[in-house]
């Protein structure tokens, strides 16, 4: 079915093939053989670029994590009232998720069977804590509701945002990234019910 191609891969293009295969088969279910077939190059050609599939996983989830942590360094995430920073971070999370869809999808599916997976889970947890801290600060300012516990509210907000990977497809026919980000911000901060 596949013809061996001349290896014209760069680490980045090889990565995008690997991420697609990881998302289709699961990381555990992917062998170097699968990667070699999907890329149309030999296993030894892949080893020319990376030490193995775990390095590909690490590069892939790093890309997602760098995108997410990068948000926290942006000016609007660092300056101003906590609730406004939280709103900014929420919008940017949706933007990073849609822009880096396969990488974030992979990150969200990591299970914790290898060192790299455990590291990725730790980093995800760290990011969650940063957002929870922002929510806590906004609650202390009296700007967000105090009747839902911070950890629970954070989980529900992440649940809503992360679920986007299940259906969002950037094919230009469906909903745009902007529409989704707007909707999430409106829903998370204002809720469904029209205010009197």
What residue ranges bind a second copy (CB under 8 A)?
Answer: 83, 86, 135, 138, 142-149, 152-153, 155-164, 166-167, 175, 179-180, 182-184, 186-195
Nearest distance in Å: CB 67, a second copy: 20
Q: Which is nearer to a second copy, 7 or 177 (CB)?
A: 177
How many angstroms separate the CA atoms of 181 and 178, rounded?
Answer: 5
Nearest distance in Å: CB 150, a second copy: 11
Nearest distance in Å: CB 151, a second copy: 9
The two tokens of residue 88 are: 């900014």
Nearest distance in Å: CB 75, a second copy: 22
The two tokens of residue 59 are: 């590069």
Nearest distance in Å: CB 109, a second copy: 11
Q: Are 96 and 168 in contact (CB under 8 A)?
A: no
Q: Which is nearer to a second copy, 36 or 90 (CB)?
A: 90
R_g over Cα of the chain: 19
Q: Which is nearer to a second copy, 18 or 83 (CB)?
A: 83
Q: Are 55 and 37 in contact (CB under 8 A)?
A: no
Token pair 């999370």 in the structure block, residue:
93
Q: Which is nearer to a second copy, 52 or 176 (CB)?
A: 176
Q: Which is nearer to a second copy, 6 or 193 (CB)?
A: 193
How many angstroms separate the CA atoms of 184 and 186, rounded?
Answer: 5
Q: Which is nearer to a second copy, 79 or 179 (CB)?
A: 179
How many angstroms separate the CA atoms of 149 and 3, rounded?
Answer: 56
How many angstroms separate the CA atoms of 188 and 110, rounded?
Answer: 26
Q: Distance of alpha carbon 2 from its chain centroid, rounded?
A: 31
Q: Are 139 and 86 in contact (CB under 8 A)?
A: no
Nearest distance in Å: CB 186, a second copy: 6
């Amino acid at each position: 079915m596949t013809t061996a191609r001349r290896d014209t891969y760069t680490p980045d293009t090889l990565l995008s093939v690997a991420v697609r295969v990881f998302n289709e088969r699961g990381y555990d279910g992917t062998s170097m053989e699968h990667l070699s077939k999907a890329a149309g190059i030999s296993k030894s050609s892949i080893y020319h670029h990376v030490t193995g599939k775990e390095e590909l996983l690490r590069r892939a989830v790093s890309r997602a994590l760098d995108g997410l942590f990068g948000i926290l360094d942006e000016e609007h995430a660092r300056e101003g009232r906590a609730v406004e920073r939280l709103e900014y971070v929420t919008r940017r999370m949706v933007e990073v998720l849609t822009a880096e869809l396969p990488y974030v999808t992979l990150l969200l599916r990591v299970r914790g069977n290898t060192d790299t997976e455990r590291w990725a889970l730790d980093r995800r947890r760290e990011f969650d804590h940063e957002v929870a801290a922002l929510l806590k600060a906004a609650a202390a300012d009296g700007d967000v509701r105090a009747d839902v516990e911070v950890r629970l509210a954070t989980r529900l907000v992440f649940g809503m945002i992360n679920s986007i990977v299940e259906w969002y497809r950037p094919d230009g026919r469906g909903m745009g990234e902007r529409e989704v980000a707007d909707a999430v911000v409106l829903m998370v901060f204002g809720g469904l019910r029209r205010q009197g």
